[in-house]
Amino acid sequence: MHNIFNVLIIDDHPAIIDIYKIALERLNSINNSFCFRVESANSCQEALEKLNYKSTDFQFDLIFLDIRIPPSDDGKILGGEDLGLKIREEHDDVKIIVLTSYNDNF
């Protein structure tokens, strides 16, 4: 029996998205009881579209969320922090893993 997990990776660097996809595929090959269906988004806008496009019977189980990503087109969601709050507000069962290489010397 396979446990199927729907995953959304939100990052503006395609190489980072590919690395996480490879890691999930590797995990699947080590333990074939897991199956990951992976989708990706490169901005807040694209992530919102993917989250809103899915029907009510579909939900992401896991979201990898980068903090520094391009904002939504309407300027209401400015980055990963805002997007994470919106995701939590609308999808309270999803697990969120925050990714960042953000550096602030202050």
pLDDT of residue 102: 63
Max Cα-Cα span within the chain: 50
Calpha distance 58→31 (Å, rounded): 24
Tokens of 17: 């998205």
Number of domains into which the chain is organized: 1
pLDDT-derived band at 59, boundaries 50, 70, 90: confident
Domain that holds residue 38: 3-99
Question: Does residue 56 have a pLDDT over 70?
Answer: no
In a domain, 105, yes or no: no
Q: For residue 62, list its beta bridge partners.
A: 7, 95
In a domain, 106, yes or no: no
Residue 32: CATH number of its domain: 3.40.50.2300
As a whole number of Å, the end-to-end CA separation of the chain is 50
Calpha distance 39→9 (Å, rounded): 6
In a domain, 104, yes or no: no
Please compute, for residue 53, the number of CA atoms within 13 A of its CA located in the half-sphere on the CB side. 9
- Residue-wise pLDDT for 8-37, tens only, equals 999 999 999 999 999 999 988 888 888 899
